[in-house]
Amino acid sequence: MDPMLFASTNRQAPQVTLAEALLQGQAPDRGLYLPVAIPRFTREDFAALRDRPYPETASTVLKKFTLGTFPNDDLDAMCRRAYDFEVPLEQVDSRRHIMRLDRGPTASFKDFAGRMMGQMFGKLREKAANRLVILTATSGDTGSAVAQAFYRIPNIEVAVLFPPAEVSDRQRKQMTTLGENITPIAVEGKFDDCQALVKQAFADPALRGISLTSANSINIGRLLPQIVYYVYAAARLSEDGDPIIISVPSGNFGNMMGALLALRMGVPIEKIVIATNANDEVPAFFKTGLYKKIVPSRHCLSNAMNVGHPSNLARVLALYGGWMDETGTIRRMPDMNRLKEELWATSVNDEDTRRTIQSAWRENRLLLEPHGAAGWLGLQRYLDEKPDSSVSVSIETAHPAKFPEEIENLLGFSPETPPSLANVEQKQENYMKMPADYKAFQELILDRYGA
């Protein structure tokens, strides 16, 4: 069987296999990889998933993309290892549901992609002669998810650079209490300094002898695992193949891309509701057809969605026949009619986010944090416009315990901390400290990972 191929949204780079796309991250023409042809589910395929456990659903979905790269038995085992936590799908009332993607090791939905990427990179490097070194700069969430995901994966080393003044105690502890193949580095500076050091390292000829990669948010390996939970939800909620509505709180649009790929695979999805925070560049674009980045991005309560130019938007437009280049300029307009048939976008400000946290608790005893609340209100707004709608599910992307003060202020109690977050509190921390100076960073890399 021929392996699936992936093409760049900028169409100037050669098509590559999954293994190449994973290791490259961004395509050489600075576009983003997408599958050349999206595999489809037959009705029977899909119906068979109705009550399958999460790791099995993951394997069934991912197999369609990993054919020729990972043997099926390996993939089954990888999915079991990656997804050893709960995926609660809660009914709120007769038509509405919440899916909680917050039970992984760092209590955000980023664990779903991170954990699978860890498995995939580990498998690709299993027989390699040298180690692969992942360099990541983080302002908190991504670094802890990457560190937890790649922890103890053979032949992989992770160096995470973080600005100590900008990450929370808990975020730091999720990186610094692991040890082994995870090297956290506190850089005396800001997140931008960390990012600049990482960028310089990738371009440094003196480091050519070391296999470096970034595992960053635009990697196709972050996207494919995010298709799975939509298939999982639709298989359980769809009655006789009737389409469901999905609401996704969105920032960089990686999460909603998972839903869109599921839709294109033939999963019965009637509409994807996209809820942004006050960074409303995409809802405005859907309304007016004019795209304008928001620079700098607006600071909101749902801080993981503070994105003024979503990096996955180029992929979304490509799936509607459009072309957005790496500068964010639309070179060819997408088919806006088809886009609006499938997608519906709305912007939720902080005041409405807070009110939704209160009303969801008061009316339904539904505990939400700011990101999930934006998704929940987005769904309400869509249903208000289309009251006769289908069964729906809104995505909760983080655990409410990550926002204890906000929830305490709004609801008068503090959410219980899940074991994943509580466990790091007692553990011993270990990390390096470094000035924001490239020479020092280069020496550290050569010393730690050089031949």
Q: What are the residues binding ligand PLP (CB under 6 A)?
A: 108, 110, 141, 249-255, 304-305, 371, 397-398
**Residue 122 or 143: which CB sits closer to ligand PLP?**
143
**Residue 104 or 184: which CB sits closer to ligand PLP?**
104
Q: Tell the smallest beta-carbon distance from residue 371 to ligand PLP (Å).
A: 4
Q: Tell the smallest beta-carbon distance from residue 310 to ligand PLP (Å).
A: 7
**Residue 148 or 238: which CB sits closer to ligand PLP?**
148
**Residue 122 or 251: which CB sits closer to ligand PLP?**
251
Q: Tell the smallest beta-carbon distance from residue 304 to ligand PLP (Å).
A: 3
Q: Tell the smallest beta-carbon distance from residue 386 to ligand PLP (Å).
A: 23
**Residue 212 or 269: which CB sits closer to ligand PLP?**
269
**Residue 57 or 252: which CB sits closer to ligand PLP?**
252
Single-letter amino acid code for the residue at 237: L
Per the DSSP assignment, residues forming a β-bridge with 185 are: 161, 432
Evaluate whether 82 touches 115 at the Cβ level (below 8 Å): yes
Q: Which tokens in the block code for residue 304?
A: 């993981």
Q: Tell the smallest beta-carbon distance from residue 369 to ligand PLP (Å).
A: 8
Q: What angle (nearest 5°) sits at the alpha carbon of residue 347, between those of residues 343 and 350?
A: 150
Q: What angle (nearest 5°) sits at the alpha carbon of residue 216, between those of residues 212 and 220?
A: 105
**Residue 26 or 255: which CB sits closer to ligand PLP?**
255
Q: Tell the smallest beta-carbon distance from residue 301 to ligand PLP (Å).
A: 11
Q: Tell the smallest beta-carbon distance from residue 236 to ligand PLP (Å).
A: 22
Q: Tell the smallest beta-carbon distance from residue 282 to ligand PLP (Å).
A: 10
CA dihedral 111, 264, 292, 374 (to 10 degrees): -50
**Residue 74 or 406: which CB sits closer to ligand PLP?**
406
